[in-house]
Structure 1
Amino acid sequence: MIKVMLVDDEPFILEGLSVLIDWKEYDCMIVAKASNGEEALEYLKQGDVDLVITDIKMPVMTGIELIRTAREEGLSSAYFVILSGYNDFQYAQSAIKYEALDYLLKPVSADGLIEVIDKVKNKKRATQSGEVVNYENSGISDRPEQGTVLLKDELDGIIQGIEHNDRNKTNSSIDALFLKISEEGIALSEQAINVNKHYLIFRLLHLAVELDESINQEVVMMYISDNILMNGTEMGSILHLKQFAAEYARYLVNLRSTVSKGVLHDIEKELNVNYAQNITLKDFAAKYYVNSSYLGQLFRKQYGMSFREYLNSVRINKAASLLIKTDEKIGRIAESVGYHDTDYFIDKFIAIKGCTPSKYRKNGSEFSN
């Protein structure tokens, strides 16, 4: 039985990894979960672990610091696997000098986890049979073969163009990519082709997952993978990549439209119930896995006002209803709809309803008709 520890500061990632596969089916058991490297380190000092899957960037102690400390202090002989965000792609490879077994790019797939488990099993069998385990063949290397290079600037340009549906930006970045390969004499090996291709695939997948976490990641990834050509500089490959980039940009536009309608509908329903709570745009952005700036833009487009203005409108409308239907004091009504400063409540009420709460109550039948 392989004993596994999961380490990530995002609770939903920890839980997601724990249910992504049936660990028992692969002769594994999750023995611990930690939210940062320091917590993981304390467990390693007293617990028996075979495999540690850890995020890179975490508070208190990063994943790299965790691996380095565990190795330098001889705390554990466990195999370490890095969870890497896309912007940490190159940084993740530095973990190799501390004998990290492999890295997994987020969002992690079930196949990725299974492949890691198979590697651990092979390493354990080799160790038990007396063979020397060679970390240099673990899947990533700190000594890349000649010509292995990540063309990150050009690939990031393509990503940005697709994300913003900017065809000129996308096409110019694709031209720059192939120009750098052909004119600057970069002879990409098969390994280098895969590194660049995978970087582009997972960055594109991430754009879709950011918009809708419920999408079938495997299907989208296969679609991307089947339509990206990185192994040639001929005009056909350039045109093919440009065509695919345009199609994927349109796919993201449609996805945004579908997701935004659903998200705004859910937020609208929740605000009608929980309007009195201290709710912020960032809270909803985190809950629905949508960028807060993008969510703010959706509110302005849909309602013609900011999220804060919309929330005030909901609260004041609720207060107006209570003013007419009850005899509660104005201060109590203000607090019941989420305002702890009565003067501020009155200012907002006047701005939205055009009169004071007292006048609104006095002339309730007129305002309610």
Structure 2
Amino acid sequence: MIRVMLVDDEPFILEGLSVLIDWEKYDCMIVAKASNGEEAFEYLKQGDIDLVITDIKMPVMTGMELLQTAREEGLSSAYFVILSGYNDFQYAQTAIKYEALDYLLKPVSADGLIEVIEKVKNKKKAAQGGDLADYEKKDKSEAATALFKDELDGMTSGIEHNDKDVINKNIDELFIKMGGDGTALSKKALDVNKNYLVFRLLHLAVELDKTIDQEVVMMYISDNILMSGTEMGTILHLKQFASEYAGYLASLRGTVSKGVLHDIEKELDVNYAQNITLKDFAAKYYVNSSYLGQLFRKQYGMSFREYLNMVRINKAATMLIKTDEKIGRIAEEVGYHDTDYFINKFISIKGCTPSKYRKNGNGQTEV
């Protein structure tokens, strides 16, 4: 049996990997889990590990540093698989240099893990000149037996297809098996179920749009699954969240992928003077406001509020050149009710006062 160690600083990913496949079915046994490279390094000193699956970016010691140290010190001959985010492929060459077995892109799929296991089996057979030794299978852990996988998978499927009936049916069955709000479960069992659900839901979002900020979406999911930090919350609360998340995924398939930022840009070009906020647009386009804020900063290099100020000041600059209206009136027309605040914003963006801008633009001075 292949002895596996999982290493990741995100608990939901650690637990998600633990239950993504039936490890025993593929002659594997998870013997250790670590939250950073240093912790994993200590496990490597203590035990016989065949396969290390590790995230690349972690506090204390990164996955790459763990691989490098293990190889340079001759600590372990375990096969290493490096897990990476979307923009980390520059590290692939280093991973290859230190003989990593594979380099997988997050979110990891079940097929990806199975393929890695097959690679390890083939290499071990080649090294041993025969079949792998068959270890005695152990009973599944409390965490595994307490996972309500069928209900959570059913709920996830309902969310993916935006099927309210399937969502509600599986949530009802989940709460029956949990005995209510989950307080009858051990903390470990509750964490396993919560982390598995976070893992599956985040995976759905990333499959639709790999540019999303995974940390923001993960926090959004986690904050809505739990009510008090230790309970699963009420049935109604979970059903409401599931419905909202189904809508969020639908928005990724449709509005976001077709250019929600372009739509917002056009609307701001017309309605810039209104008291409009990022949350207003998030509600209108059915997008999580934190995620929309991340999209804005990634696209324009500034926050939504900074972008709105830029649009307003540009409109004011045009009015200063093309009209004789007083500065106070122009400030109001572009959405500022405090003239001094408008002037300060104008200076920060245009580098001069509105009066000087007008004078330099058409030779007129402000009265």
Tell me the TM-score range normalised by the shorter chain. Answer: 0.3 to 0.5
**TM-score, normalising length: structure 2:** 0.41
Query: Greater RCO between the two (CA within 8 Å, min separation 6)?
Result: 2
